[in-house]
């Protein structure tokens, strides 16, 4: 589902979830959310819903949502720890730092972040 450049904010996430995962006739396999106004709060809501419903997405794009930051990436790492179905993850210009890069690298390489 491509929801790029729709001026979405965290307030829109609940209706987005309803549309993408409840009302959708065919199974949603990915979300493209680039060029919106999402923050770590919206990412947390999305991750919580994906984990609660055990939804397996193949791709996620959060590109150009600069306020996601490290906290939002932590939520995505939590998703990746429990659900490895994603094969494409786009995160440029999300405000993440080297810390987030390390977290992602560790989880994708099956390294326990607590041992690093």
Spatial separation of the C-alpha atoms in residues 55 and 98, rounded to whole Å:
29
Q: Where are the domains of the chain?
A: 10-115
Q: How far is CA 99 from CA 39, 50, 81, 87, 107, in A?
A: 17, 24, 17, 22, 13
Domain 10-115 CATH assignment equals 3.40.980.10: no
**For residue 18, what pLDDT is reported?**
86
pLDDT tens digit sequence for 43-80 = 999 999 999 988 889 999 999 999 999 999 999 999 99
- Residues whose CB is less than 8 angstroms from the CB of residue 43 and which lie 6 or more positions away in sequence, other chains included: 62, 68, 72, 75, 76
Structure tokens at 85: 């179905």
Name the pTM for this structure: 0.90
């Amino acid at each position: 589902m491509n929801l790029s450049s729709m001026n979405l904010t965290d307030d829109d996430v609940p209706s987005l979830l309803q549309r993408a995962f409840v009302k959708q006739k065919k199974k949603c396999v990915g979300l493209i959310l680039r060029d919106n106004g999402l923050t770590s709060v919206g990412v947390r809501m999305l991750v919580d819903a994906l984990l609660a419903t055990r939804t397996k997405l193949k791709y996620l794009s959060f590109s150009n949502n600069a306020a996601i930051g490290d906290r939002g990436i932590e939520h995505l790492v939590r998703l990746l720890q429990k659900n490895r179905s994603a094969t494409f993850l786009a995160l440029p210009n999300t405000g993440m730092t080297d810390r987030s890069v390390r977290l992602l690298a560790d989880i994708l390489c099956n390294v326990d972040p607590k041992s690093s």
